[in-house]
Amino acid sequence: MIAGLLESDQGRIYINEQEQSASNDEYKKLVAYVPDKSPVYDFIQGAEFLNLICSIRKLSADAYCKFISWFKLEEYLDIPFAQMSFGTTKKFLLIAAWGNLNGFKASF
């Protein structure tokens, strides 16, 4: 329901005061999907991946700094995804999903 794939029986879903609807592009910017299998090329390093996401989303690299520190990923920034564990890869994907959520508030 949060992603808009299922209809709700009752009530409304809001993220950062944006109501979930098929036509609300601002809401869609706040929803992310983190797959089980990494969609990242094995040769890309952690920092390169986050820089790419920053470029696509037009964000400062600072948007990800708190998450890098939180997940203790500093030592993996120069490591290719092929050499990372499943858990470390997942952490980078979560950071990419959460990076633009400054001041995130959700309500159901």
pLDDT at 53: 85
pLDDT at 83: 97
Q: Among 40, 31, 32, 33, which residue's Cα sits nearest to residue 86?
A: 40
- The structural domains of the chain, with segments of one domain joined by +, span 1-31, 35-102
Cβ of 74: how many Cβ atoms within 10 Å? 12
What are the tens digits of pLDDT across the range 19-65? Answer: 776 666 776 677 777 777 778 899 999 999 999 888 887 777 777 88
d(CA 45, CA 81): 6
d(CA 66, CA 84): 20
Residue pair 49/92 in contact (Cβ under 8 Å)? The answer is: yes
What are the tens digits of pLDDT across the range 83-106? Answer: 999 999 999 998 888 766 554 444
Lowest mean pLDDT among 2-11, 30-39, 78-87: 2-11
